[in-house]
Amino acid sequence: MEKLVTSKDFPSADGFIYLNAANISLVYQGAIDALVDWYKDTALHGSNNFDEVAEVNTFEDLRQATAQMLNANPEDIAVGSSATELLSSLAWAVLPGAKTNVVSTKIVFPSTVYPWRRVGSHSGCEIRLAESAGDFVNEDDIIDLIDQNTAVVSISHVEYSNGQCFDLDKLSAAAHEKGALLVVDATQSMGAIPIDVAETAVDALVSGSYKWLCAPMGAAVMYLAPELQSDLEPGLVGFRSHNNMWDLEAGRLDYPDTAKKFEFSTMAYGCAIALARSMEFINSIGVDRVFAHNRDLADHLSEGLRSQGATIISDPDKGYQSSIVSAALSGMDSSKAIKQLKEAGVYVSSRADSIRFSPHLYNHRGDIDNVLDHMKRTFGKNN
């Protein structure tokens, strides 16, 4: 399969083999340039160029790019500093009360549950976590926890530790049948797996910037379904929360009737501008093409690792449709293997006592072949 990007887009990708997008992605050069330009301009000129009008409009490009990626409307998009920040504000806005429950999984990244647990300690809401078997969660076990008292089902679209990808249509139907909201953390999928909120009834979706979206840390986006936008009151508010942010009157607070009400404060605006550039770049390629490219690399890697005796935990037949490949090497400590790979210029992570590989659009089959060859020569001697 041909490369999706050039060396100009990701200059460092030719200097080492980076299979670690599920941790921190390499950043698109256009995003780096935008970030540097913004910081340089504000450092040298203050608000001469980044004036009140510019600050009001800072997020417009990012809302447009996010809406395009999710098949939503720009009015449905809010921008924040992190996915956790946006999710926390949403959790207080929903404020599930006593005798209600929030459903998730035991292997979910903690930040997907912690905001609801914090709200629950205040309101008396119960947190229910589906059990896992071998780091795999059966979707039916999640659905079995949903009842008429469930307020929210909060899940990661893709589990960070092993790449399991949940069926959002199935979980959405199950949640809505009981009157619950489906809230999705897409930090491990957005930009790498197609998501269409017009087709899949997701009530809210958040994503950070620094994984599959190939942007710097410090920015995040949230999709909020139109029917929720006028009713919810954000948990976090500030001067941007008012419908006219520069109408600086402390005696009132009138929210916009859109997702913008969840944008509340100043932030590292350059990070949001950089995220817009990166998402525009990914949109120009097409997330469907990125997904096909990444799956080809993941399948090629899995096949090669199996031929070397590795156990592939992230089996696509069990629902692992992301490009995260979690593998255990026979007779080899994963931390030792990761250290040896790093010494050879191959960067991966350790999760759940296995090696987590996560190729992305800047990788190609040559990277995978080089990794497999290195592992065969190095670890074959050790086994």
Q: For strand 150-156 and strand 181-185, is the pairing parallel, antiparallel, or unpaired?
A: parallel
Q: Residue 307: which residues within 8 A CB-CB, separation 6 or more?
A: none
Coil/strand/helix, residue 147 = coil
Placement of tokens 């619950």 in the chain: 180
Residue 109 is predicted with a pLDDT of: 94
Q: Are 166 and 321 in contact (CB under 8 A)?
A: no
Report the number of distinct structural domains present in the chain: 2
CA 125-129-132 angle, 5° bins: 180
Q: pLDDT (tens digit, 9 = 90+) per residue, 237-276?
A: 999 999 999 999 999 999 999 999 999 999 999 999 999 9
Average pLDDT over residues 62-89: 98
User: Do 252 and 341 share a domain, yes or no?
Assistant: no
Of the residues 285, 300, 324, the one at which a domain ends: 285
* Distance separating alpha carbons of residues 87 and 347, to the nearest angstrom: 30
pLDDT above 60: residue 11: yes
CATH of the domain at 312: 3.90.1150.10
Side chain identity, residue 4: L
Of the residues 235, 270, 285, the one at which a domain ends: 285
Q: What percent of the chain has pLDDT over 70?
A: 96
pLDDT above 90: residue 335: no
Is residue 5 a part of any domain in this protein? no
Of the residues 266, 285, 304, the one at which a domain ends: 285
Rama region for 214: left / alpha / beta (φ>0; ψ in -120 to 50; rest)? left
User: Do 242 and 294 share a domain, yes or no?
Assistant: no
* Distance separating alpha carbons of residues 294 and 191, to the nearest angstrom: 11
Is residue 25 a part of any domain in this protein? no
Average pLDDT over residues 353-369: 93
Range of the domain at 207: 30-285
User: Do 68 and 198 share a domain, yes or no?
Assistant: yes
pLDDT above 70: residue 319: no
User: Do 225 and 209 share a domain, yes or no?
Assistant: yes
User: Do 96 and 160 share a domain, yes or no?
Assistant: yes
pLDDT above 70: residue 320: no
